[in-house]
Amino acid sequence: MLANPESDDIHGYYFEDLSVGMSASYAKTITETDIVLFAGISGDVNPVHLNQEFASDTMFEGRIAHGMLTANFISTVLGTKLPGPGCIYLRQDLRFLAPVRPGDTVHAQITITEIDAERKRVYAHTVCRVGDVSVVESDATLFVPKRDKSKAA
């Protein structure tokens, strides 16, 4: 399915299609496999993520998912839904607020908060929640391409 139903190719929303208040989300339940694969891909093999005995003696009192694994779901929304394919991530200010554990379902949501036509930038507030608890919040800055007028019919 296309990110933008108005589009006839794989491109997501164009700059001109966006407005303040637009929102999109993605949900994923964190599995043991997700944590192990993320550790392997990222190289982050901190035992707080992989070793229950070690993690039991930490402030979390058990294993937790990688914060960046959770935050990556924000990128999923931005890159696949809103604005979708074609947008470029320029900046993100992450705030990790609570742990995510194996078996938790993370709901990532982004909401466009500002559009700067002069600088060609889109700003969005992003949040990841487990239930009613915010586990990651951030503000993102994006570049979103304008529609190519030469291809318009």
Residues whose CB falls within 8 Å of the CB of residue 18, separated by 6 or more in sequence, listed in order = 83, 112, 115, 122, 144
Q: How confident is the model at residue 150 (pLDDT cuts 50, 70, 90)?
A: low
Q: What is the pLDDT of residue 92?
A: 95
| Chain mean pLDDT for the chain | 92
What domains appear along the chain, each with residue ranges and CATH number? 19-146 (3.10.129.10)
Give the orientation angle of helix 32-42 with respect to helix 67-80, to 10 degrees: 90
At 49, list the tokens: 């993520």
Taking only the tens place, the pLDDT of each residue in 73-130 is 999 999 999 999 999 999 999 999 999 999 999 999 999 999 999 998 999 999 999 9
C-alpha pair distances (Å), 112 with each of 93, 100, 147: 15, 25, 19
